[in-house]
Amino acid sequence: MIRAENLTVGYELHRERQRLTALRDLSLTVDRGEFVVLVGPSGCGKTTFINAISGLVIPWEGSIEVNDKPVIGPGPDRAMVFQDYALMPWRTVEENIRLPFELQALGINEEEMDDRVRRYIDLVDLGGFEESFPYELSGGMKQRVGIARALVSEPDILLADEPFAAIDAMTREAMQGELERFVAATSQTVVFITHSIDEAITLGDRVVVISYRPGQIKEVVEVDLPRPRFDYDIKTMPEYTELRERVWGLVKDEALQTARGARI
Ligand SMILES: Nc1ncnc2c1ncn2[C@@H]1O[C@H](COP(=O)(O)OP(=O)(O)O)[C@@H](O)[C@H]1O
Ligand SMILES: [Mg+2]
């Protein structure tokens, strides 16, 4: 479904007259229906990687393909969920969720659009809040709107960039359980970024640990825990603790390097 091969991506820093390599020689394949989580220190290129999948940044070297076609720009087959929700404050919940239909020609009729909006509002449990505005909602509810808006175009791939980072700890755990349910209901392929090792293990089929800049894959950890993980209470399982230690072991040095302020 997604194939990155020897992907190198970076940015031209015009002021500094330098080129910054954000990702170097990264190869990763994501299969249909897989939930892949990216973890790694700030600035290691996680966002750059999902921007390359979504077509917002173009590779310097190597290639990125979605459904066997090179990515040349954004498209309705890939939808994004953002940390800051990116809702339009002047639009109601329903109008926010309807937005993708106005931005992209999906080739579906009015009736199908209404049907989808209703279905995804139900899926994310926002029935009764259709006419509410974002300022009237909690963080968790705002992100449900963000998720419904992403799912409404029925994308092949859901890209989520730290979607729960701004949500309080208790709601966050509940949202992880909910996301797992939405994903199971739609057989969605997901690439998800987080700083939380617990979140990565709770959600991922595989956890991809990315090293400090320029970002490269340090290791890919398979998470072989039963689903739905939320119901199984996986945190009490010894396998969970082992996985947690393993991922932390991989991330620790990278995080320390970042905390000590390693520069370009
Ligand atoms: N638009 C941009 N212009 C210049 N540099 C950027 C831009 N976006 C990201 N970077 C730099 O690229 C590196 C990787 O950034 P990013 O992909 O956002 O990392 P992460 O999401 O892992 O924190 C960082 O050093 C960041 O400063
Ligand atoms: Mg980022």
Percent of the chain scored above 90 by pLDDT?
76
Q: How crowded is residue 124: how many other Cβ atoms within 10 Å of its Cβ? A: 24
Q: What is the pLDDT of residue 262?
A: 58
Mean pLDDT, residues 42-71: 95
Nearest CA to ligand 1 atom 2: 11
CA of 92 to the centre of ligand 1 (A): 32
* Cβ of 11 less than 6 Å from ligand 1: yes
Ligand 1 pocket: which of 48, 57, 212 to mutate (most atoms within 8 A of CB): 48
Q: What is the pLDDT of residue 264?
A: 46
The two three-digit tokens of residue 242, written as one number: 């082992």
CA of 36 to the centre of ligand 2 (A): 16
Residues 6+ apart with CB under 8 A from 144: 124, 125, 126, 175, 178
The domains of the chain, with CATH numbers, are 2-77+156-259 (3.40.50.300), 87-154 (no CATH)
Q: What is the pLDDT of residue 258?
A: 73
261: confidence class by pLDDT, cuts 50, 70, 90:
low
Tell me how far apart the alpha carbons of residues 65 and 220 are, in angstroms, rounded to a whole number.
20
The two three-digit tokens of residue 249, written as one number: 């072991």
Q: What is the pLDDT of residue 108?
A: 87
Mean pLDDT, residues 155-166: 94
* Cβ of 163 less than 6 Å from ligand 1: no
pLDDT digits (tens, 9 = 90+) for 129-143: 999 999 999 999 999
The two three-digit tokens of residue 102, written as one number: 């106005």
CA of 23 to the centre of ligand 1 (A): 9
Q: What is the pLDDT of residue 204?
A: 97
Q: What is the pLDDT of residue 214?
A: 85
Mean pLDDT, residues 53-70: 96
* Cβ of 22 less than 6 Å from ligand 1: yes
Q: Record the pTM.
A: 0.93
pLDDT digits (tens, 9 = 90+) for 94-131: 999 999 998 887 788 999 999 999 999 998 999 999 99
Q: Which atom of ligand 1 is nearest to the CA of 41?
A: 22
Tell me how far apart the alpha carbons of residues 70 and 99 are, in angstroms, rounded to a whole number.
26
CA of 161 to the centre of ligand 1 (A): 13
Mean pLDDT, residues 214-239: 92
Mean predicted lDDT score pLDDT of the chain: 92
CA 185 to each of CA 81, 97, 127, 180, 255: distance values in angstroms, whole numbers, following the listed order: 18, 18, 17, 9, 35
- State the pairing for strand pair 18-30/2-13: antiparallel
